[in-house]
Each structure stands twice: as C-alpha cells, then as structure tokens.
Amino acid sequence: MKILSVMAVKVYLRIFIFIYWRNKLHYRNKKLADWRVLFYMQTVV
C-alpha cells in the first residue's frame, strides 16, 4: 500500500508540474516549455 501511495503522489506531481509549466511558459516558447517539462519528469522519475 505504501508503494502504491508513493507512485500515486509521483503521478499527481507530474501532472501538476506539467500543467503548471505549460500555463506559465506557453506564451514564451511552447517547445521550450515542453522540453523543460519532459526533462523535469525524467529527473523526478
């Protein structure tokens, strides 16, 4: 159960960070925002 809860938290954080970065950087450079999100997701996992 503890492992499942940790995985759920990671998934939730990934979704939250993904939405946050896209909203924050969408007006600057969409490709840059996507790259940063993917890079951060890789490091988090």
Domain tally, the chain: 1
Model pLDDT, residue 29: 59
Predicted confidence at residue 31, as pLDDT, reads 65
Which residue carries 């503890």 as its tokens? Answer: 2
pLDDT tens-digit profile of 7-45?
888 889 888 888 887 777 665 656 666 677 778 777 765
pLDDT at res. 35 = 72
Q: Which domain holds residue 25?
A: 2-44
* pLDDT score at 43: 75
User: Who contacts 10 (Cβ-Cβ below 8 Å, separation ≥6)?
Assistant: 44, 45
